Amino acid sequence: MSEHSRLSIDEYFLKIASVVAERSTCLRHHVGAVAVRDKHILTTGYNGAAAGLRDCLELGCLRDELDIPSGTRHEICRAIHAEQNVIVQAALHGVSLLGATIYCTHSPCVLCAKMLINARIARFVTYGSYSEETFTDLFEEAGIGFDVLPPPHADITFLR
């Protein structure tokens, strides 16, 4: 990025999703998501244990202990996915995700994809891929746009 260039709107919100991911309590993947409509942030979410419950930072990763591969046996995991937390936060605060774009550090699992379809999002943008791709047919059938972009630059640039 040149000294005086400006981030595109997609780069901007993907970068914010990356910062949101830093709150993750998962030992395997830090995932962050941001729900956006009309260039305004509606909600954010990251993967981690349910509110008020002990997480993997404290207890260790049960999936690692049981040698469970990524993308399988979701019920064993203590974490709620970032996309699920975006939906939960919207519900808690009375915010509709109808027509929203979800910016996320990873592509969704099939369970999150189904929830996002029912939340009536319009688009999903990511720069990372999850271990399964079964969501793509569902998104296509539901008419949800899906874009994979390059990861945003990790550095923060500003004029002093």
3-class DSSP assignment, residue 49:
strand
| Residue 70 structure tokens | 């990524």
Q: How far is CA 55 from CA 24, 46, 99, in A?
A: 10, 13, 32
3-class DSSP assignment, residue 37:
strand
Which of 11, 22, 65, 83 does the annotation list as catalytic? 83
Q: How far is CA 20 from CA 45, 107, 114, 132, 146, in A?
A: 7, 15, 22, 22, 20
83 is catalytic: yes
Q: Which residues are catalytic?
A: 83
